[in-house]
């Protein structure tokens, strides 16, 4: 078997709960769940080199992006030079420290930590050494993947550009152009670190082979590493996570976060999102006001983007989560395949709502002169809370419950659930 291959073994699909046998995977091959099409594992063509190279390249580019000029703005005879740290610092100085922390974590903290943990784990694998906390590092980097929002910030910059360019001259610096490369590299790096494969490699270093079949015991599949474990255990031997057939209290926790998000969504829409001051005027605008102004000003494209990010996505996400929670708790409202699709959409679109928050932050940094001054309104904090709470609600939801419920109400699901191999 080529180096880095994954032997044939039994896994549990984390999305639909199907227990299935996957054949030997050699570098360049991947396995999908035949029932819900969930991506189970992919072995990179160069399993050790590719993620390491992408992580190092990302860190180098990140250093440039966060130290060099992002954009410069000429407004009313004043020249303003913006770097990313300057934006975070000016938020903190103007008493928006919570917004500053959120921006710092989503655009810098989580990607840096993610990349450093990748390098740590892959260094251990490359030199065949079990480093302290390798399992914990792998579990943490998997969780951090959801909270990397460099791409969202980049799109927010493009939206802000259209807005600012109608009033001022903008020049983009090196950091702006490299941020696009960084966003792509980060996506590629996070796709290139398959946790199932990493956990197998770490266990191999410790002399255990988690792909060996378990005999004489009932088994349970770990939700995080997908390997089979005896169902008498509380903690997974392979990845160190807590073991359970389904995430404990998944529906209650998911519903609690969703309810909190729905409550916060009210002030997020009623309070001002952005306050614009210029001599003689003091304008506080809510999300809807902002969209209306832009539409009337002829900025149709930004109006559509902000409407999608700030109104459509949060509302759709809340509706989708309610459908999923109802279907998993009581009666499936549609087929399991469609519900799974809904779950995947909900999980992936949520982060894009942060566009509006990032736009307000960029506008605030750009318009900080006495002649034109923009500050974030109270709604920004509530809106951030809505985005974060709906994301946690989706992440707490156990999609396998959809398929459990469909089994009890078979009218919605006709395909067989026998074991497949791919």
Chain contacts with Zn ion (rule: CB under 5 A): 13, 15-16, 18, 33, 35-36, 38, 222, 224-225, 236, 238-239, 241
Q: How far is the CB of 199 from Zn ion (least distance, A)?
A: 7
Q: Which is nearer to Zn ion, 17 or 314 (CB)?
A: 17
Q: How far is the CB of 398 from Zn ion (least distance, A)?
A: 13
Q: Which is nearer to Zn ion, 188 or 420 (CB)?
A: 420
Q: How far is the CB of 345 from Zn ion (least distance, A)?
A: 16
Q: What does the alpha-carbon distance between residue 281 and residue 288 come to, in Å, rounded to a whole number?
A: 19
Q: Which is nearer to Zn ion, 104 or 200 (CB)?
A: 200
Are residues 289 and 306 in contact, defined by beta-carbon separation less than 8 angstroms?
Answer: no
Residue 261's nearest CA partner among 174, 350, 194, 329 is: 350
Residue 20's nearest CA partner among 43, 51, 4, 41 is: 41
Q: How far is the CB of 400 from Zn ion (least distance, A)?
A: 8
Residue 140's nearest CA partner among 101, 195, 187 is: 195
Q: Which is nearer to Zn ion, 210 or 314 (CB)?
A: 210
Edge-to-edge strand ranges of the sheet holding 274-278: 281-285, 274-278, 372-376, 368-369
298, exposed or middle or buried, with CB in 10 Å at 0-12, 13-18, 19+? exposed
Q: Which is nearer to Zn ion, 155 or 225 (CB)?
A: 225
Q: How far is the CB of 410 from Zn ion (least distance, A)?
A: 17
Q: How far is the CB of 53 from Zn ion (least distance, A)?
A: 28
Q: How far is the CB of 193 from Zn ion (least distance, A)?
A: 16
Q: How far is the CB of 392 from Zn ion (least distance, A)?
A: 21
Are residues 239 and 224 in contact, defined by beta-carbon separation less than 8 angstroms?
Answer: yes
Q: Which is nearer to Zn ion, 239 or 355 (CB)?
A: 239
Q: Which is nearer to Zn ion, 240 or 377 (CB)?
A: 240
Angle at 243 between CA 320 and CA 35, to 5 degrees: 50
Q: Which is nearer to Zn ion, 228 or 356 (CB)?
A: 228
Give the distance, in angstroms, between the CA of residue 42 and the centroid of all CA atoms in the same chain: 19
Q: How far is the CB of 207 from Zn ion (least distance, A)?
A: 17
Q: How far is the CB of 328 from Zn ion (least distance, A)?
A: 15
Q: Which is nearer to Zn ion, 206 or 281 (CB)?
A: 206
Q: Which is nearer to Zn ion, 163 or 196 (CB)?
A: 196
């Amino acid at each position: 078997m080529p180096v880095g291959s994954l032997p044939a073994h039994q896994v549990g699909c984390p999305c639909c709960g199907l227990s299935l046998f996957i054949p030997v995977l050699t570098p360049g091959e991947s396995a999908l769940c035949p029932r819900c099409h969930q991506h189970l594992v992919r072995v990179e063509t160069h399993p050790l080199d590719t993620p390491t190279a992408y992580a190092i390249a990302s860190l180098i580019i990140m250093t440039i992006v966060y130290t060099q000029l992002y954009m410069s703005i000429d407004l009313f005879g004043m020249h303003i030079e913006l770097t990313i740290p300057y934006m975070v610092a000016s938020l903190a100085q103007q008493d928006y420290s919570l917004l500053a922390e959120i921006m710092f974590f989503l655009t810098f903290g989580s990607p840096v930590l993610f990349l450093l943990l990748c390098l740590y784990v892959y260094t251990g694998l490359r030199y065949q050494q079990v480093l302290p906390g390798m399992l914990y590092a792998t579990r943490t980097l998997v969780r951090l993947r959801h909270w990397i929002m460099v791409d969202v910030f980049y799109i927010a910059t493009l939206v802000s550009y259209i807005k600012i360019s109608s009033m001022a001259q903008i020049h983009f610096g090196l950091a702006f152009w490299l941020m696009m490369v960084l966003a792509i590299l980060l996506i590629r790096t996070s796709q290139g670190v398959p946790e199932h494969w990493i956990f197998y490699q770490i266990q191999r270093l410790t002399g255990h082979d988690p792909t060996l079949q378990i005999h004489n015991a009932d088994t349970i599949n770990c939700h995080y590493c997908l390997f089979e474990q005896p169902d008498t255990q509380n903690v997974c031997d392979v990845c160190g996570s807590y073991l359970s057939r389904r995430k404990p209290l998944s529906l209650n926790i998911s519903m609690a976060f969703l309810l909190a998000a729905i409550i916060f969504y009210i002030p997020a829409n009623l309070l001002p999102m952005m306050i614009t001051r210029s001599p003689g005027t003091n304008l506080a605008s809510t999300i809807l006001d902002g969209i209306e102004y832009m539409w009337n000003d002829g900025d149709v494209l930004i109006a559509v983007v902000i409407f999608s990010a700030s109104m459509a996505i949060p509302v759709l996400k809340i509706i989708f989560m309610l459908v999923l929670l109802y279907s998993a708790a009581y009666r499936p409202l549609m087929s399991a395949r469609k519900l799974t699709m809904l779950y995947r959409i909900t999980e992936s679109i949520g982060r894009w709502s942060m566009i509006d928050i990032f736009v307000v932050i960029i506008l605030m940094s750009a318009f900080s002169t006495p002649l034109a001054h923009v500050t974030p309104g109270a709604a920004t904090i509530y809106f951030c809370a809505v985005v974060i709470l709906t994301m946690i609600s989706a992440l707490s939801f156990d999609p396998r419950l959809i398929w459990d419920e469909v089994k009890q109400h078979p009218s919605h699901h006709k395909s067989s659930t026998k074991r497949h191999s791919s």
